[in-house]
Structures are given as C-alpha cells and as structure tokens.
Amino acid sequence: MTTPVTVGVIANPASGRDIRRLTSHASVFPTAEKANMVVRLLAGLGALGVARVLTLRDNTGVAALLLRAIGTHAAIAAHERWPEVEFVDLPVTHRAVAAHCGATPLLALSTGTNNAFPEWREATVAGLAGALVATGAVPAEAALARNKRLVTRCVDGPSRGREEIALVDICVARQPFIGARAISESSDIEALFLTFAPPDGIGLSSIGGAWAPVGRDAAHGLHMTFAEPGAPGGAGAGVPLLAPIAPGRVERLTMCTCQRLEVGMALPLEAGHGTLAFDGEREIEPARGDRYEVTLDWQGPLTVDVARTLRYAASHQLLREAAARA
C-alpha cells in the first residue's frame, strides 16, 4: 500500500469515438460525461480514505473539465473529501494497460458501447469499492479476480516472435487490410476465439453467447468457425445464428464449428489472406510465411469485483466504521 494511498485514473479520450458510431447505431460518449465519471470516482474514493489520484492530461477536454470541477468543489463543497489530483503525461490504451499492469489491480469502467471487458457500473459505487481495496480495508482475496486472456504468437515466418493479447476476443477476419480496424460486417468473420461469452453481451463475444455462453470465471473459452456467405453449401453448411455484433446491429451468421478452448492449448490461427483482430479491431496483416498460434491462459489483469467487495464491506460493517470516523 502506498502512503498516501494513491489510485491511478485513466480516462481514455479515444473511447466511444470509433468508426462503429458511423457503421452502427452506437452513440458517441461525450467528453463531458467522461469528466463527470472521474468526478464521481473522486467522490467515492475520497469518502473512504484515498488521498491522491494520478490521472492523464489529454487534448480532448477531459482534464480541463476535471480541473474546473475540482475548483468548484474546493469553493463550495470542501467539506466533502476528495483526493488531491495530479496530472501526468502518459498516452495509453486499454489493452496496453492490461498488458503491463502486472500485479496492480484494475477497476474497469465502460465508456464505450462495444467494449465487453469492463462492466457497466455507476462510477460513484466503483469509487467506493476501489477505495476499500486501495486502503486495504477489504483483502485482495475477497476483492480481486484474475481474468483470462488470449495470447497470439507468431511462431514462424518474417514476423516470428511478435505477440499480441486480447481480453475478450480474437477474430480471424476475411478483410485483407487493417483499414478502419473495426469488425463491422458479420460476413468478415471467419473464426473467433473467446475468453468469455455472455448471453446478454454486445459485440463479437455475443456470438458465442448466442450458442454456448461462457462465464468470466469458467475454466475454458470458445473457438468458433463460420461459413463464408455465398460459399458452396449455403445455409446447409452449418447452424444459423443471430447475434448483436454492434449496437443496433443484429446480424445472421452460419456457424460451422464450436468447441471448448482449453487453457494452455495452442491452436493455429489460419488467417489465409485475411487479418487478425483483437478485441474487435484489426491489428495484424500476416506476412507471407507467417504462422500464428493462439493460447488461452489465466495471466490476464487482476480486476476489482465491485459487488463482492461491497458485500464484504457490508458484512464486516466497514462503511459504518468509516462513517463513525468521519
């Protein structure tokens, strides 16, 4: 535990603004609401003893709005405890955080409508849970959960040694170029590898959830393959499925195979002339001769289980004790 108790807050300025806002019926997540979410986090964190928050500077206005809110709070509500906020310059993305956070636990909040890894959660409540973990009031074994991840490695060819991770899904896409990155057409999907597949999810993981739901805590993932539209065999080539692959987009796919993806089992990624997409975005155009494999493991990030943390706090009367101290 750091002294003073410190929490990092990363408000991704690019989230909620990708091309899916044009290719589906998703809404843009405004800068003002991102700043408001950080403010609500500060209220929850400060109420339970977090003294310092490190967050990012950005050029989209989140930091500016946050500074204004901090000034207003100091002028009219200084009796409500907020942490001191320090700004740092550190450009990052969500998967980069997950890849390098090590033993530092994450409390992931969704600000995009297609990101299936963070759960929808009111930021004030999340702030309370985060403070209980950061101050050590709730022990790690009661508050934290280890997540699965998918690891893709190039094991042969010009790109040998390249490695990428995904927290939710890897898609073998028929689209031959990275282009605008987003997987927006179901006809592009040749194969999917999933860490989990909720039946009520959105995005590519919802395809698995429509056939064989898999929980975040399940000991396996899924590997699915799909027929190409117009290919010989037509509808008889597999099982038809409907899934919400993006907000307002319920698409039909024909599933050829679906099998459990066991932890530690290396499977080939047959990209052919296509591309590899990670958590919904195309990242790799395999070079001629490249051979990739994918493996499921339990080395994903540690995350705060908000409900479990607050349940522990209630059963041990931690919020009553905090109120008495205040």
Instruction: Identify the pLDDT of residue 92.
Output: 55
- Does 209 or 20 have the greater pLDDT score? 209
pLDDT (tens digit per residue) in 23-43: 666 667 788 999 999 999 999
- Rounded to the nearest 10°, the torsion over CA 23, 196, 199, 267 is 80
Instruction: Identify the pLDDT of residue 157.
Output: 94
CA distance 223 to 197: 11
Whether residue 185 is predicted with pLDDT greater than 90 in this model: the reply is: no
> Is the pTM above the cut of 0.85?
yes
CA nearest neighbour of 296 among 263, 259, 260: 263
Average pLDDT over residues 45-54: 96
Average pLDDT over residues 159-168: 95
pLDDT (tens digit per residue) in 236-250: 679 999 999 988 889
CA nearest neighbour of 164 among 276, 272, 265, 271: 276
Instruction: Identify the pLDDT of residue 222.
Output: 98
CA distance 75 to 52: 19
Q: 3-class DSSP state for residue 284?
A: strand
End-to-end CA distance of the chain: 21
pLDDT (tens digit per residue) in 272-314: 789 999 998 899 999 999 999 999 999 999 999 999 999 999 9
Whether residue 235 is predicted with pLDDT greater than 60 in this model: the reply is: no
- Does 270 or 9 have the greater pLDDT score? 9
Residues, the chain, total?
326
Query: Phi/psi zone of residue 181: left (φ > 0), alpha (ψ -120 to 50 degrees), beta?
Result: left
Instruction: Identify the pLDDT of residue 121.
Output: 87
Whether residue 113 is predicted with pLDDT greater than 60 in this model: the reply is: no
Instruction: Identify the pLDDT of residue 181.
Output: 84
* Helix orientation angle between 31-47 and 62-76, rounded to the nearest 10 degrees: 40
